[in-house]
Amino acid sequence: MTTSSGMVPAIPIYVTFNLNPDQSGGGPESGFKTESSTSPQTHNVIAALPSQSGYSPLWNVIVYENASFGNVTNLMTAAAAPLLNPQAGTVNCPVVKF
């Protein structure tokens, strides 16, 4: 799957961490923020699923403020959260089960 210019399209994924990236030990090394210590449920949101038009396994990572975690429930609320890093990187992470 490539664009007309030969590039692989990428979709946004909004993520947040236990500690914001600007804090000591923050960002990826602190782990993704989850609903509780006993639940692995994150509030990371991708823009499309494999069954949807525009889906790509290549994702542009966007980091949002972890204080917004409780308000992020879908793509619209993720996009509305304060962003800490709108271009944190690109990852190849195909969805394997949903």
Ramachandran region, residue 79 (left: φ > 0; alpha: ψ -120 to 50; beta: rest): alpha
Average pLDDT over residues 29-57: 92
Contacts of 1 (CB under 8 A, 6+ apart): 8, 9, 56
pTM score of the predicted model: 0.90
Task: Give the model's pLDDT for residue 78.
Answer: 98
Q: Are 8 and 58 in contact (CB under 8 A)?
A: yes
Residue 1 confidence (pLDDT):
66
Q: Give the per-residue pLDDT at 17.
A: 97
